[in-house]
């Protein structure tokens, strides 16, 4: 049982209540229930996992969820079911797949700023992935690496009205430097092949950057692919981001650490080329604590290159409870 709250540039202020059972009915099954109420989103999630199906390292489970999310210029209310499975093929390598069905409504549309249209829609997708993870620990790793590649296919064959293929690749490296300083390098890239044809417009599936998990110092949708001079906000079909961090302990008995970071990245439309010499960037510092509520991050990002979105030197606090890169 846990209760917590916080604030982040991605989700605003929030409070969360969760219950988790790791040995349901004495059979080793895992179950969880979570309720989160926030400034920009509300979520209810119930999940179940069998971690050792058929007496082999095959995990399988499901999630049932309801999410209400406020984007900048429209709202999206979703009810969904996700089936998932994963299999460990080597010591550090696993493969898996998830199948997702969602019924959602787009509402409260500000049509002067978005091409998204109001209505009810059905979405079905399947996402296979492969992951390698040799980190010595999940909270502020000291060595190892993590790499993940996934392909999400959404189409009518799964009973949905939305048709696209999304590719996402991620890599992260952690290495000791001197004393107890640890360096880390993280990179992500994604590509969305939209086959829906604009009817409906699927801007909620396109890429945006900004916030705790991407380019700190910017809000969650600050970095997009909106053409100069246009008022219609638009995400991108491509993105790339880089993150470099230096961590060191502040008080080891409580797993309290400090971090210094540099972030860089950008979002691009389908017909745009990557320009690594002209991207958004920021730097900053913060603290991380493995608290009884879970990992806590408090970080302050300062804009280096904000183009026409933010002034250089602008800053923004970020606070979150949850996982890292």
pLDDT tens digits for range 38-84: 888 999 999 999 999 998 999 999 999 999 999 999 999 999 999 99
Give the max Cα distance, the chain. 61
Sorting pLDDT into bands at 50, 70 and 90, what band is 14? confident
Q: How much is the average pLDDT of 19-32?
A: 87
Q: What are the structure tokens assigned to 95, written together?
A: 């493969």
Q: What are the structure tokens assigned to 46, written together?
A: 């119930």
pLDDT tens digits for range 213-269: 999 999 989 999 999 889 999 999 999 999 999 999 999 998 999 999 999 999 999
**What kind of fold does domain 2-321 have according to CATH?**
Porin (2.40.160)
Q: What are the structure tokens assigned to 2, written together?
A: 């846990």
**pLDDT the model gives residue 110:** 96
Residue pair 318/13 in contact (Cβ under 8 Å)? The answer is: no
Tell whether the torsion through CA atoms of 204, 160, 59 and 22 is positive or negative: positive
pLDDT tens digits for range 121-157: 999 999 999 999 999 998 899 999 999 999 999 988 8
Residue 292 has pLDDT above 80, yes or no: no
Q: Does residue 187 sit in helix, strand or coil?
A: strand
pLDDT tens digits for range 143-192: 999 999 999 999 888 888 899 999 999 999 999 999 999 999 999 999 99
Residue 294 has pLDDT above 80, yes or no: no
Residue pair 48/81 in contact (Cβ under 8 Å)? The answer is: no
Q: What are the structure tokens assigned to 78, written together?
A: 């979703």
| Average pLDDT along the chain | 92
Plot region of 316 (φ>0 → left; ψ -120 to 50 → alpha; else → beta): beta
Sorting pLDDT into bands at 50, 70 and 90, what band is 8? low
Tell whether the torsion through CA atoms of 121, 240, 43 and 232 is positive or negative: negative
Q: Does residue 301 sit in helix, strand or coil?
A: strand
Residue 4 has pLDDT above 80, yes or no: no
C-alpha to C-alpha distance for 119 and 200, rounded to whole angstroms: 9
**pLDDT the model gives residue 124:** 95
**pLDDT the model gives residue 161:** 83
Sorting pLDDT into bands at 50, 70 and 90, what band is 3? confident
Give domain limits for the chain: 2-321
**pLDDT the model gives residue 17:** 87
């Amino acid at each position: 049982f846990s209760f917590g709250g916080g604030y982040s540039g991605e989700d605003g202020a929030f409070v969360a209540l969760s219950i988790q059972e790791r040995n349901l009915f004495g059979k080793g099954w895992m179950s969880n229930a979570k309720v989160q109420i926030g400034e920009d989103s509300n979520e209810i999630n119930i999940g179940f996992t069998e971690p050792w199906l058929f007496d082999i390292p095959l995990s399988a489970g499901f999630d049932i969820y309801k999410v209400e999310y406020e984007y900048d210029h429209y709202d999206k209310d979703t009810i969904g079911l996700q089936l998932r499975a994963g299999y460990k093929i080597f010591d550090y390598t696993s493969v898996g797949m998830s199948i997702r069905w969602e019924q959602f409504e787009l509402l409260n549309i500000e049509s002067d700023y978005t091409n998204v249209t109001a209505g009810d829609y059905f979405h079905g997708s399947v996402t296979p992935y492969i992951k390698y993870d040799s980190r010595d620990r999940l909270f502020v790793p000291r060595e190892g690496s993590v790499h993940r590649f996934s392909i999400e296919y959404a189409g009518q064959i799964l009973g949905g009205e939305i048709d696209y293929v999304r590719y996402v690749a991620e890599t992260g490296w952690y290495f000791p430097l001197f004393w107890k300083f640890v360096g880390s390098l993280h990179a992500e890239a994604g590509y969305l092949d939209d086959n829906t044809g604009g009817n409906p417009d699927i801007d909620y599936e396109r890429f945006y950057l900004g916030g705790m998990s991407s380019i700190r110092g910017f809000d969650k949708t600050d970095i997009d692919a909106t053409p100069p001079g246009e008022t219609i906000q638009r995400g991108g079909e491509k993105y790339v981001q880089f993150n470099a961090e230096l961590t060191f302990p502040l008080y080891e008995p409580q797993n309290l650490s400090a971090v210094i970071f540099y972030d860089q990245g950008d979002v691009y439309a389908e017909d745009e080329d990557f320009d690594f010499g002209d991207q958004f960037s920021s730097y900053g510092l913060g603290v991380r604590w493995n608290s009884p509520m879970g990992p806590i991050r408090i970080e302050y990002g300062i804009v280096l290159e904000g183009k026409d979105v933010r002034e250089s030197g602008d800053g923004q606090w970020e606070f979150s409870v949850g996982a890292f890169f």
